[in-house]
Amino acid sequence: MKNLFLSTTALVAGSMLLTVNGAQAAEKIKLGLGGYFAAVAVAGSQSDGVGQSAANTRNHGFARESEIFFRGETTLDNGISFGVDMQLEGETSADQIDESYIYVQGTFGRVVYGQDDPASDSMYYGSPAPIEGVGLVSPDFVSSVLANGVASPAVKSNISGDADKITYFTPRMSGFQFGLSYTPDTCGAVAAACASDAVGLESQIDTGQQSEAFEGAVNYVRAFKGGEIALYAGMATANVEGTAAAVAAAGAEDQDQWGVGFTLVYGDITFGADYREDNQGTSAANTDRTDYSVGVNYVVGDWTVGMAYAHGEAEAGAGLGKDETDGYQVGAYYALGPGITLTGGMTYWDVDDNLSAAAVENEAKEFVIGTVLEF
């Protein structure tokens, strides 16, 4: 499988070189600016008594998250397009440049190289979020303490994160599109100590780290009278690093994930659901993780109202039960103007620990109101 993929990549690269030598771009790539700024105010209550997980935490606060996009594209005389995308975090962050990649696309499909989400993530379809930017699945803002083996539910198949990779997407044919990503080393996404991005050659014995990741997906999109349906299936697999003895001592193994999902739009209603399984890269018995969610949104003029439920559970070992997190959410958002959205709603979290430890378990209620500006 790996040799076939690398051979395909080489053929695509060769085609790209011939294209560059055989045609000239109408003009040099010029970068444009874009991005978003999300700001929210949160109030709520959670298990904050002595010895409980949220002890001594405030019952209100502010949060924000923003990015600036630098994007540009040019098209050659033969119709092949080349482009670049760099995303700068608006706050000081360990991952100051969130994503940074270049791409080439044409009738052959799309090839992406750089720091970007894998195909198994970017091709996802699933449940909609009732609160703009503050959903239940891998939310940007989490005000409650979710400290068990699950934290918040995560339904997209993704092992490599934004680590350097190459991805190929086929053209969409009869509604179907396929994508496959290869990541030599996930250090840039999951580890603190990495070599310079300019060097690109990392250690292959970082015990427990998952690398040489293949992450692929297929989705199907079809319009019908009054609506549209999108189906998704994704998978991710990677090899664990380290010597055999070190890997065994750490209880690690190759990581595998798979997931499915769908989104159905009919008239003013959007309904979706998804499901994912993950062996978490651990070799011990009964340590798998399962996540799923379901949601529905309804559009009324400039308003969108909705509700959603998400669940995540991680087995804690043979005979030790499991950690679980359940999230329930109702919310709405209002399109105030072009690129200006007001949003708000209520979220309830129920966090259970396999050992019923008070310092981990939590019942939390959050009320959030905010705005998202896109530019």
Burial group, residue 319, by CB count within 10 angstroms (0-12, 13-18, 19+): exposed
> Is residue 123 in a domain?
yes
197 in a domain, yes or no? no
Instruction: Specify if 83 maps to a domain.
Output: yes
Asked if residue 274 is part of any domain, the answer here is yes
Asked whether residue 201 is domain-assigned, the answer is no
In a domain, 24, yes or no: no
Cα distance between residue 134 and residue 341, in whole Å: 13
Return the CATH number at 115: 2.40.160.10
And the tokens for 38? 């999300």
Query: Domain total for the chain?
Result: 1
- Asked if residue 203 belongs to a domain, the reply is no
Cα separation values, 80 from 24, 85, 104, Å: 10, 17, 7
Chain mean position to CA 275: 14
DSSP assignment of 41-107 equals EEEEE---STTSTTTT--SEEEEEEEEEEEEEEEEBTTS-EEEEEEEEESS--TTSEEEEEEEEEET
Q: What is the pTM of this model?
A: 0.88
User: What domain range includes position 177?
Assistant: 2-19+31-189+208-374
pLDDT at site 197: 54
Per-residue confidence (pLDDT) for residue 18, from 0 to 100? 36
Element (H, E) at 1: none
Q: Which of 185, 212, 187, 206 is CA-nearest to residue 250? A: 206
| pLDDT of res. 27 | 82
pLDDT (tens place) for every residue of the chain, 375 residues total: 333 223 333 333 333 333 344 445 468 899 999 999 999 999 999 999 999 999 999 999 999 999 999 999 999 999 999 999 999 999 887 778 889 999 999 999 999 999 999 999 999 999 999 998 788 998 878 889 999 999 999 999 999 999 999 999 999 999 999 999 999 998 765 444 565 555 557 888 888 899 999 999 999 999 999 999 999 999 999 999 999 999 999 999 999 999 999 999 999 999 999 999 999 999 999 999 999 999 999 999 999 999 999 999 999 999 999 999 999 999 999 999 999 999 999 999 999 999 999 999 999 999 999 999 999
Residue 196 lies in a domain: no
pLDDT of residue 10: 34
Could you tell me if 115 and 102 are in contact, meaning their C-beta atoms sit under 8 angstroms apart? no
pLDDT at residue 187, as a whole number:
78
Residue 21: what pLDDT? 42
Q: What is the model's pLDDT at position 335?
A: 95
